[in-house]
Amino acid sequence: MPDTITNKLGTEIMVGGIRFKSNVLMAPLAGYTCFPFRLMAERLGAGSAYTEMVSSDGLKYNDRATSKLLYTDDREKLKCVQLLGSIPAVFERAAKSERLEKFDVIDVNMGCPVPNVIKAGEGSALLEDLPRASKIIEACKRSGKVVSVKCRIGLNRQKIVIEEFARMCEQSGADMITVHGRTRDMMYDGEPLYEFIKKAKESVKIPVFANGGIDSKAKALEMMEKTGADGVMLARYGFENPLIFAELTGTQCNDTKYSLLMEQLEIAEECYDELYVLSYVKKLASYFMKKLPGTKQYKLALYRCGSIPELRTILGEIFTAPGE
């Protein structure tokens, strides 16, 4: 295996027979990666963008909350859903269900570090239960869809499992793996441990994507170079600055933060109720201002705003002000 960069950032890649238009992906982010956001990420060059994690068991209920998470339509070219759970038969039922009929790719969450999730044997608990994880992948594969796995490198520095885990994923039929280069006990902080993503890449033939801490083109290139991964997956920074997808993939666009917000508002209004629209667009606008100095009063105005027309006015004031 060459230990220098093997793949260029922004190139297309085949995953289990499906063409991803670039090897720069948008991660699942609970509370954030709704349909309008995924559509925007895709337009700006992301090779795929995932729904936030959806309970595999919850699919059997026809509740409004799950329907919102699963909303998609033909504007989204590649449809990717992430499932959370612990029971292979439940995954199989979900993967074959009518509710997931439109989705091309099923990603299995094997990385979530939240205590309640682990207690239920879900998310990163599966890093400790390879036979079960394997059965889950096989169960999803029986749907005939492309199946990916998103995992961490291990539980802590003493329990790094990624090489064996990656091989298990491949042998069970997974078409791709995304490795978050942090251990479970690191949660979401600290420098990713690049060498273990590299080991995962060297252990399997299926595409391996690298995730964790990418917040600039330089970081994305560093990740590719240090891990030899087939591509990268952005999470928090992808939400903070979706224009990074255009930068990393060479996608032409004339968007500004303001135009993106107006587009998002319009699409969200078509798909969701006012409460949800307000909550989503406020979150996005706050993230867009995250690293800007002197935005406290704008954030307060956003927080207080109670209607869509008012939100439109406030966003205009904030994002078309001189200096924006």
Ligand X SMILES: Cc1cc2nc3c(=O)[nH]c(=O)nc-3n(C[C@H](O)[C@H](O)[C@H](O)COP(=O)(O)O)c2cc1C
Residues labelled as active-site residues: 112
Residue of minimal Cβ distance to ligand X = 235
- 91 vs 319 by CB, closer to ligand X: 91
Nearer to ligand X, 201 or 319 (CB): 201
User: Could you tell me the smallest distance in angstroms from the CB atom of residue 150 to ligand X?
Assistant: 4
User: Distance between CA 91 and CA 83 in Å, rounded?
Assistant: 8
Q: Which is nearer to ligand X, 21 or 182 (CB)?
A: 182
Smallest gap from Cβ 134 to ligand X, in A, equals 19
The CB-of-238 to ligand X minimum distance in angstroms stands at 7
Grouping H, G, I as helix, E, B as strand and the rest as coil, residue 181 is strand
- Tell me the torsion sign for CA atoms 51, 53, 59, 62: negative
Q: Which residue matches tokens 């793996």?
A: 177
Minimum distance from CB of 307 to ligand X (Å)?
A: 26
By beta-carbon proximity to ligand X, the closer residue of 168 and 319 is 168
DSSP string, 134-149: HHHHHHHHTTTSEEEE
Assess contact for 118 and 155: CB atoms under 8 A: no
Tokens of 318: 């904030």
- C-beta atoms surrounding 17 within 10 Å: 8
DSSP letters, 64-117, are HHHHHHT---TT-SS-EEEEE-S-HHHHHHHHHSGGGTT-SEEEEEE----HHH
Site for ligand X, rule CB under 6 A: 27-31, 52-53, 82, 109, 111-112, 150, 180, 188, 211-214, 234-237
CB nearer to ligand X: give 30 or 314.
Answer: 30
Instruction: Write the single-letter amino acid at 307.
Output: S
Residue 269 CB, nearest distance to ligand X (Å)? 24
